[in-house]
A = this chain, B = another copy of it.
Amino acid sequence: MTADKTLSLYFSLFNEIGIISQLSSALVNEQLPKGLSNAHFNVLIHLDRLGDGQTPLAISRAFQLPKTTMTHTLCGLETHQLIEMRPNPKDGRSKCVWLTQKGHAFRNKIINNLAPDLIKLSTQIPQDRILNTITGLAEIRKIMDANRED
């Protein structure tokens, strides 16, 4: 295969991915109140799924974002009382991030509001298609992630 063909193939891939990323962000944003963005919601999801009590640095690494960005995002979540920042008992420099009751409830509410849109999607696209696409994406993601480090 020519280099040109390869390039345009991957440009197509990344173009589709970019568009869907934007569309899915829009879906979530529609459900969020003013003052809270995708960035905030993703952190809530993350803490709920993988457990809270993590440090800000660990979270910023999980999202591969600069820690200054995470400081800002966590600050917003704390202002809205969706998380609590407590000192890290194991390291005086560090903090631990905990979901509050309100944070849990908020996450659940947003996910519930999201459900109709996603369930509608699931009626429009065969499940096999989604599963196969996820499999392909996961492979691509793993390799790109591995390449990133060298």
Known A-B contacts A1-B127, A137-B16, A139-B129; A145 and B6 likewise in contact (beta carbons under 8 Å): no
Q: CB-defined interface of A1-30 with B at 8 Å, one 1/0 digit per residue?
A: 101001101111110111111111111000
Q: How far is the CB of A77 from chain B (nearest CB, A)?
A: 19
Q: How far is the CB of A146 from chain B (nearest CB, A)?
A: 9
- The interface residues of chain A, by DSSP majority, are classed as helix
Size of interface on A: residues with Cβ below 8 Å to B: 53
User: A28: nearest residue on chain B (CB-CB)?
Assistant: B14
CB atoms of B64 and A144 under 8 A apart: no
Query: Could you give 18 example pairs across A and B, Cβ below 8 Å?
Result: A1-B127, A3-B115, A3-B119, A6-B118, A7-B119, A9-B127, A17-B17, A18-B24, A18-B25, A20-B144, A22-B64, A24-B144, A117-B147, A125-B143, A129-B136, A130-B136, A132-B136, A133-B133
